[in-house]
Chains A and B, each alone.
Chain A
């Protein structure tokens, strides 16, 4: 039987505020345990939450960016359950009335676009951390993270493969960084997701029973966890079994998912509106102000890149996948005064390759946009050839300075004087009479041999176009 995979994601984006969502304690990562937990975070008797208004603007930005309705009135609710790293015995979240309603965004996969629905996004506080190591027979609790603001973005079950799920997650990742509302740091847990996965026979409308995969904190894990879970579910169904609705944990070391708790064991969270917080009311004027501050969004930028620079959907999508990369590219184009295609090739080619190899982000690139542009200008004005440019680029990467300096110091300037090139050609022809004879007898493949020989003695500096033209004349 052919199976269709159905995936929905719940993404938790940590909002990039300085202080917590309901207290004044710092949200900075990596402090000593419990040094960033104030009376409110510790849930001492008598303390009360006060909403950090910065999170409202951030949530509104996301809502506007995905074309969703930002609720004029949303309500904080208590999600009640006991756990040592949840100091109040409830998490303040939003339940029936979230701040962001239905929206959508487009993902690109294999050069095609697909629209994924966003069901809702709501504000909530993070819990603390339980430390099971280092405490023999006991568990340590670190409440630094307790009260960190999160925006939980819930998608519709619109994804049909792990690749689509990853593309969607990357899109949200890029979006929150464009909006400057989340640092997107997955290692520190600032951006993570749960995946709801089910399968159904192709053509069946009714959804299959789903499993929820918890806490997937890298794109790679999302893809692998979904794949392994899909296999597991198909195996069960094909051997006549039934998938159980449950929460499963992905174990990256063993590459398997295992059951955490079934639906029957699931908590009854006893949600109810938090009486310590008034309903959150957003005035239309506030939304207008937020709207005015929105940056150009990835999809708008992508469309503009495709038109302004005649880029393919693929190139435009890659270049706009991060705000920083897009800015690097645009700055390069502007400063180099060169053909956009040339810039794309370099940014997406040699530059990306080196970044990947050294595991660097575009913001950490060892060649800056003005430096790259400087080099591209020398390609465009024929000072160097594309091939020599690779040498120049590597030297710039190694920190040897700007392109002009490197070209000068290493004498990499292209030879464009036809007299000089002719002289080199004559020399090569004179030294290779046998090949000349064969060429003239019809072995035209040897043309490349002569080009190579001339390039060799010119140390790569002969202008390739001129060389071709002159060589053709001389050989015939």
Chain B
């Protein structure tokens, strides 16, 4: 059952080949048996899952089921889930039971989906390797000595190891696409505002966006159908109707104009990754797409300004974790300053504290103009690069990450090198564009991710391009060797 696509699972449930309870139990068993090897879950909601599966079976029996009714999924532990621990990968929220559901969670529930549990992640989504989690690093199913990427590393690893058929993630600078690439799965970051941020614990509000992570473009399209849409509780949500993201999957690619940014195929890109991309590009050519070299001249500024804007917003967003109303509170505070200092000092990990300090510095009097304001100006230039490019091409193609999965511990002492692993993904968040990562090869048994970037609200087009590629290749069906015997 765990190797089936969402379409296959949906059919089987509707036909009564097995029940949602059986399907759910199967995945719960797999989590129980194998997750200790990869640490992809923080919380497993066995009882709630079986109860939801029972309810789903009833709905299916009544003939009221939707396409995803009864299908299990995993939520990144950044989404608030009513009555269930929502830790955001932090000691700060280790004791936090959310009293409400995030819009994304609510929508999945309304669609009859069954939550298996909450996946591990970099603390407060700050990281590219899942090593900053309070709950320990997640391991890449392709090589358990390597990182799965981050921050949605738990979701990516769980899907890659077939512990969940599909999962949710969030992407602030590449946190869906980079782990999708490193774990060999398909992940989509929608246009900023396409999916509601309500109930999603904020890291950098102007960049954060939730999206689906699955094993194929088609699976991802089905989940996007469920979670996208306007939400009046999120003022930055787009009041534009959602598309049916599965409707155009089978459109042909003849005449599609694909842009290849020269800055993405330059120094810094691993040569084996580059080779894998070259063969992928040939597939697109064969499908009738035309290739165009384009330039995104401000690419090199994306990482530096990201590390101004994202920390600035996070320094403010994380102020609410003060030990007063919820979350971690230090023992026996002597006074208010002590309460704040120790609760935050003890509750946050090193990377979170580093970013809060960078952000507070960038916003402080006398530095604001030089850092934050300047970064916002450059952000507009980066958006402009993309709008210029989309005058010439339909989609942009490039690597998701400069390398394949790296070893745990390899970059954790060197934040700047770590930050550079998001060099191809960050600019997309700056511009608010949709983008996805799909598997496009293996280098020494490690997956290579190919990134597709689309124009605003062109998720359906991206999914179509990805799906067509997946019709003629089988990289997305490759299985991690270490897990082969159990898969």
Contact = CB atoms under 8 A, between A and B. Distances in A.
Interface stretch (B20-28, B287-295, B312-320, B465-473): B312-320
Interface string B178-219: 000000000000000000011111101110000000000000
Interface string B308-339: 00001101101111101111000000001000
Contact of B235 (A49, A84, A270, A272): A49
A39 B233 CA distance: 12
Contact of A275 (B102, B313, B324, B364): B313
Contact of B98 (A42, A46, A82, A276): A46
Q: Would you call the interface of chain A mostly helix, strand, loop, or mixed?
A: loop
Kindly state the interface size class of chain B when it binds its partner.
Answer: 35 or more
Contacts of B67: none
B199 A270 contact: no
Nearest to A278: B235
B363 A80 contact: yes
Contacts of B368: 270-272
A46 B235 contact: no
Contacts of B313: 275
A84 B315 CA distance: 17
B346 interface: no
A355 to B, nearest CB: 46
7 contacts: A44-B100, A45-B321, A46-B199, A46-B200, A87-B320, A272-B368, A278-B235
B326 A44 contact: yes
A84 B337 CA distance: 11
Given A45-B98, A88-B320, A278-B235, 11 more contacts: A45-B201, A45-B320, A46-B102, A46-B201, A46-B202, A89-B316, A90-B316, A141-B325, A270-B360, A275-B206, A277-B236
Contact of A272 (B336, B340, B372): B372
Interface in A28-86: 39, 42-51, 78, 80, 82, 84
Contacts of B365: 268, 270
Contacts of A42: 325
Contacts of A271: 363, 368
A172 to B, nearest CB: 30
A257 B136 CA distance: 55
B319 A82 contact: yes
Contact of B364 (A50, A87, A268): A268
Contact of B325 (A48, A87, A90): A87
B336 A84 contact: yes
B340 A82 contact: yes
B234 interface: yes
Interface in B261-313: 312-313
B161 interface: no
Contacts of B102: 46
Given A48-B198, A48-B235, A270 B100 contact: no
Interface of B: 79-80, 86, 88, 93, 96, 98-100, 102, 197-202, 204-206, 232-236, 312-313, 315-316, 318-322, 324-327, 336, 340, 360, 363-365, 368, 372
A90 B317 CA distance: 9
A276 B360 CA distance: 18
Contacts of B79: 46
A82 B322 contact: yes
Interface in A1-52: 39, 42-51
Most buried by A among B88, B232, B235, B327: B235
Contact of A80 (B88, B93, B235, B319): B319
A48 B233 contact: yes
Interface in A260-290: 268, 270-272, 275-278
Contact of A88 (B235, B319, B327): B319
Nearest to B344: A82
Nearest to B237: A48
Interface string A153-172: 00000000000000000000
Contacts of A50: 232-235
A308 B86 CA distance: 69
Nearest to A83: B336
A49 B327 CA distance: 21
Interface of A: 39, 42-51, 78, 80, 82, 84, 87-90, 141, 268, 270-272, 275-278
Contacts of B336: 84
Contacts of A90: 316, 319
Contacts of B205: 275-276
A49 B197 CA distance: 11
A277 B197 CA distance: 12
Nearest to B200: A46
B320 A43 contact: yes
A268 B366 CA distance: 10
Given A80-B363, A268-B365, A272-B368, A45 B88 contact: yes
A89 B206 contact: no
Contacts of B364: 268, 270
Most buried by B among A51, A87, A89: A89
Nearest to A266: B365
A87 B320 CA distance: 6
Contacts of A272: 312, 316, 363, 368, 372
A277 B363 contact: no
A82 B98 CA distance: 23
Contacts of A45: 80, 86, 88, 93, 96, 98, 201-202, 320-321, 326-327
Contacts of A270: 315-316, 360, 363-365, 368
A278 B236 contact: yes
A87 B326 CA distance: 11
Contacts of B200: 46
A281 to B, nearest CB: 12
Nearest to A269: B365
Nearest to B93: A45
Nearest to A34: B325
A276 B236 contact: yes
Most buried by A among B313, B325, B326, B364: B325
B320 A39 contact: no
A352 to B, nearest CB: 49
Contacts of A78: 316
A324 to B, nearest CB: 38
A43 B205 CA distance: 15
A88 B233 CA distance: 17
A332 B33 CA distance: 87
Nearest to A88: B320
A89 B324 CA distance: 11
A268 to B, nearest CB: 5
Contacts of A89: 316, 318-320, 322
A366 B99 CA distance: 51
B59 to A, nearest CB: 28
A101 B188 CA distance: 44
A39 B198 contact: no
Most buried by A among B204, B324, B364: B324
A296 B233 CA distance: 37
Q: Nearest 8 A-B pairs (CB), nearest first?
A: A89-B319, A270-B363, A275-B206, A275-B205, A46-B199, A43-B320, A45-B201, A46-B80
A90 B320 CA distance: 8
Contacts of B233: 48, 50
A278 to B, nearest CB: 6
B100 A39 contact: yes
Contacts of A39: 99-100
B235 A141 contact: no
A275 B336 CA distance: 29
Contacts of A49: 235
Nearest to B196: A48
A87 B204 CA distance: 18
Contacts of A44: 80, 98-100, 326
Nearest to A49: B235
Contacts of A80: 315-316, 319, 363
Nearest to A82: B340
B362 to A, nearest CB: 9
Nearest to B207: A275
B99 A84 contact: no
